[in-house]
């Protein structure tokens, strides 16, 4: 599992940075990737990466401001031309479905694959056997949501040496034990999963926030996360501007990470007043005074989601 930023600017693109979008790459886990927000030119950024739209499984939109959605109609309409034939599901706030339908209808765009749009107002957004996505409302000028993506814990690895001692060879019994089922050895002995399984592998948690001012739901979504992606539109000397525009400063993002007990913080959604990475360094340094394990999002750079004990 890796995170790749396709845009890190707030409001409008610049020569150095595109507007907001990020890909959660899960090729080892699901052979797919998920997209979070889709600002203008996101599909162009994807062409510059190793990502393929044919592998895009889901899109999660945080809110309906243009710098987070203006790239969506183009991406949806051109996905089929890049080999995308599988179903694509798009999640986001009320109004998203109308935006997509009107854009595609008026442009006479044809979608050659199954497209599902699911609007939500928070809560459990998606769940399967491997992963769960929850969402909560944040504090912004329009309804803006954060997402908590939680892998489910997995059973530990089978101890092949112990299995051999019980006379078991690779086959259906291995699968039963991995599923937590006991095995009758046929001699009156019952082999329990805990007898041959290692410690469970704890699932990772990634929290990705939309635009927001500091609020309690940030802490709820980020609680004990392995990785938190938090907007940091301004340095802290502009905290009044941040409040007036319903955004956060780098210090406020770091304080949230500290309070929520997250393991790693990545800052993004930077004001265009900070021209390049050099101008962003003071923003990073002041955040690290509060939360040392902080990084700056960089476009087309892979950030692994580490598994913490």
Q: How many CB atoms lie within 10 A of CB 29?
A: 12
The closest of 64, 57, 21 to 297, measured between CA atoms, is 21
Phi, psi of 189 (to 5 degrees): -105, 135
Give binding residues as ranges: 63, 65, 67-68, 140, 211, 269
Q: What is the dihedral of CA 191, 196, 198, 200, to 10 degrees?
A: -30
State how far the Cα of 93 lies from the Cα of 60, in Å rounded to an integer: 10
DSSP 238: G
Q: Where are the beta strands (DSSP E) in 77-226?
A: 88-92, 115-119, 123-127, 131-137, 145-151, 183-184, 190-191, 205-208
State how far the Cα of 26 lies from the Cα of 84, in Å rounded to an integer: 17
State how far the Cα of 100 lies from the Cα of 92, in Å rounded to an integer: 11
Q: At what angle do helices 250-260 and 277-288 cross, to 10 degrees?
A: 40
Angle in degrees, CA 34, 37, 39, rounded to 5: 130
Q: Which of 37, 67, 139, 224 is catalytic?
A: 67
- Dump the DSSP string for 111-130: --S-EEEEE-SSEEEEE-SS
143 is known as an active-site residue: no
Q: How far is CA 154 from CA 2, 202, 240, in A?
A: 19, 6, 45
Angle in degrees, CA 56, 82, 66, rounded to 5: 60
- Tokens for 34, please give them: 């998920």
State how far the Cα of 236 lies from the Cα of 239, in Å rounded to an integer: 5
Give binding residues for Zn(2+) as ranges: 63, 65, 67-68, 140, 211, 269
Residues with active-site annotation: 67
């Amino acid at each position: 599992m890796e995170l790749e930023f396709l845009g890190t600017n707030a409001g409008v693109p610049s020569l150095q940075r595109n507007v907001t979008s990020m890909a959660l790459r899960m090729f080892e886990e699901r052979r797919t990737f998920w997209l979070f927000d889709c600002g203008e030119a996101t599909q162009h950024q994807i062409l510059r990466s190793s990502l393929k739209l044919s592998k895009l499984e889901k899109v999660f939109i945080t809110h309906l401001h243009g710098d987070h959605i203006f790239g969506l109609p183009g991406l949806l309409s051109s996905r089929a031309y890049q080999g995308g034939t599988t179903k694509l599901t798009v999640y986001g706030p009320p109004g998203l479905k109308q935006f997509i339908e009107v854009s595609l209808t008026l442009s006479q765009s044809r979608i050659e694959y199954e497209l599902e749009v699911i609007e939500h107002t928070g809560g459990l957004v998606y769940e399967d056997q491997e992963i769960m996505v929850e969402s909560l409302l944040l504090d912004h000028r329009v309804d803006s949501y954060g997402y908590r993506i939680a892998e489910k814990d997995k059973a530990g690895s089978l101890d092949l040496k112990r299995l051999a001692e019980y006379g078991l060879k690779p086959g259906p019994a291995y699968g039963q034990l991995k599923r937590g089922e006991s095995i009758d050895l046929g001699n009156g002995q019952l082999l329990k999963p805990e007898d041959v399984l290692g410690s469970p592998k704890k699932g990772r948690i990634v929290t990705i926030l939309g635009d927001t001012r500091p609020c309690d739901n940030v802490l709820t979504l980020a609680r004990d996360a392995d990785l938190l992606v938090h907007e940091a539109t301004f340095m802290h000397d502009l905290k009044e501007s941040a409040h007036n525009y319903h955004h956060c400063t780098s210090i406020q993002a770091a304080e949230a990470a500290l309070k929520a007990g997250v393991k790693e913080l990545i800052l993004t959604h930077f004001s265009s007043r900070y021209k390049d990475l050099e101008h962003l360094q003071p923003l990073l340094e002041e955040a690290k005074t509060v939360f040392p394990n902080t990084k700056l999002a960089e476009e087309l750079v892979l950030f692994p989601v580490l598994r913490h004990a």
